[in-house]
Structure formats: structure tokens, C-alpha cells
A = this chain, B = another copy of it.
């Protein structure tokens, strides 16, 4: 199906626990009642007519898609020939927008322990993300220090919905911990407008799931812009971010607008030492899912050229979500010259793992 020497690295697989009770051994007893009765407690007013999870990924016993690692192995890693599959959790990511930071901290820690013990051990191709609660940056930093370096953990992950843009100093303890531990930070969309985050657009709430989903990347623009403008990468020069599941076609737009404004307004950001686009290219990675599919394939190539992004894009499947991207289809969207980079090499280099 692909060149024998092409490494396939899936940077976004959503695993799940099969049963709320599985988390109890890793969770302080004080939280057991709330976890069993309320779960994450984060509602979702926008209803997808096709569901959010792939129906064909429901387990034989009727369990949640992603909740049986052996199915991920057989129906995903084996089927497509992935060398690595990065497990990013599903619902646990949304704990950052829970109103109670103590509960959120306990739940993410329990998921991390469960990931180490019950998931990463099941197949040598699995890698994992440390899920953190960004609404309590000191606790998130402690969690990064606790988990980073344990076998198989490659990055920290947090949801992109938040009460403040990520460049603001409130979040800097997280970045200090990530840099100290030599791991990048991945952000993941889908929590916008939920929990304690604000309205998901500058003009309030969209009406339905499709409209809401269409503009999720605007929050990535918000965070990339903030992280660069606030000088985060002068303070933490080794820090890298991964924008998962936001596509790539908005990046040249943002780069040009930021560069143009910087030329006129740089007096307000004297800590920046170069163009905003240079910081973006240096410090951000982007995943393919959902990859843009223009009718004219050259348009995708133009975008990669415009953004200078061929070393910054990484394949992601989003398994087992409804908008899953088949790696063979994604591969064909890119020119043969850069397929290898996008399907695996860029991830191998970022995460410093061998082939």
C-alpha cells in the first residue's frame, strides 16, 4: 500500500476507558462518587447528525469506540501498517474546562496512570500523551514533571478551549515544565463554547454542530497569534506546540496578517526579534486531519509552499472520530516528494523516536 521504507506515524488516536469503574483504582476515593455519577460533567449542546464516533469502531460488546486497545491495534495499526500510534485520550481532554480544578486535576492524573498501566503496555507501537488541566497551570506543571520521561509518553496535551489566549502569563508555568522536560505541547479542539470556556466565536454562539465545527480553527488562530505576540518563544526558546486537527489552510493567512501588522505595530511587542511568521514556522507543528481537499490538488501544494510547511505537517487519523482520515487518501493528497515527511518523518524528528 505504501513504499516499504515509508514510516507511518499516526499522531492523533483517541482512546477511551471502557467503563467508568476502570478509573477508580487510580482516583482518590473522595472523587469516586462524582466520577461515577457525573463523569467529566462537560455537556455538548451542538449535536452531530452523524454522531461523533465511528459506528464501525464500537467494540463487540457494544463498548465505546477506542476503549479496547486490541481493536485499535487490529483495525487501525495493523490494517494500515502504522509504525507508531499516539494515544491522545478523548473525553479526558475536556477536563481543562471543568469549573473545579481539583476534580479536573484528579481526573487527568488518573487517566495518565491508566494510560501508562493499561494502554501503553498493550502494544509496542503505542505512544501516549500526558493529559493536563490548563486551568490550573501549577498543577499541570506538576503533572508534566510527574509523567514526562515515563516509558512511551511523548508530549503533553490540553484542549484549546480556554478562558484566556494561551500566550498569557497565567499559562507560563506549563510551558516552563514542558521545556524543562523536553516535551512539546499538543492542543486539541472540540471543547470550544463548552464548560467554563466562553462563547466559541467573537459574536457569541453558533446555532448547530456543522456551523460550530466549521470555525473551530479560529481558536487556533487566537492561540498561535497570542503565543507569538506575547513573546512566549523568547521566554521558552525550545518550546514546540502541535495544533492537532485544525487543518493547515489558515496558516498562510495568519502569517501574512501578523507579519504585515508587525511591521507597523512592533513597538507594542519589543521582545520579538523576528517576523511572527518565523516564530510560527520554528515553533508550531500541525496535523493533517481534517486535511483540506480542494478540487484542484495543486492548491494544497500552493498552501504548503506559501506557509513553508512541508517539515511541519504530521499525519493524524483522528481515529475513531466520525471525520477520520484514511492514511492512503491523505497520502495521495500530497506530492510524492513530501509524502514521507508528512506521513511519518516529521513526527519522528519532533518526538525524537527511532524508526
Q: Quick check: is A306 within 8 A (CB to CB) of the other chain?
A: yes
Cross-chain contact A164 with B219 (CB below 8 angstroms): no
Which parts of A305-347 form the interface with B (CB within 8 Å)?
Answer: 305-306, 322-323
> Is the Cβ of B250 less than 8 Å from the Cβ of A210?
no
Chain A interface size, under 10 / 10 to 19 / 20 to 34 / 35 or more: 35 or more
**Residues in B neighbouring A226, C-beta threshold 8 A:** 203, 206-207, 211
Within 8 Å CB of A253, what residues of B? 217, 247, 249-250, 253, 292
A35 within 8 A of B: no
Does A192 lie within 8 Å of B202, measured CB to CB? yes
A210 in complex: contacting residue of B162, B201, B268, B299, CB < 8 Å? B268
- Judge whether B230 and A207 touch: CB under 8 Å: yes
Interface 0/1 of A155-168, CB less than 8 Å to B: 00000111111111
Q: Cβ of A76 < 8 Å from any Cβ of B?
A: no
Distance of A196 from chain B, by nearest CB (Å)? 11
Q: Which A residues from 167 to 213 make CB contacts under 8 A with B?
A: 167-168, 192-193, 197-211, 213
With A260-B292, A294-B252, A322-B264: A199-B197 Cβ-Cβ less than 8 Å: no
> Once the chains are docked, how many angstroms separate the CA of A262 from the CA of B214?
9
Contacts of A193 in B (CB 8 A): 202
Give min CB distance, A150 to chain B, whole Å.
Answer: 30
A221 interface contact, C-beta 8 A: yes
Besides A203-B219, A203-B222, A203-B226, 5 other A-B contacts (C-beta < 8 A): A198-B204, A208-B269, A215-B222, A247-B256, A299-B305
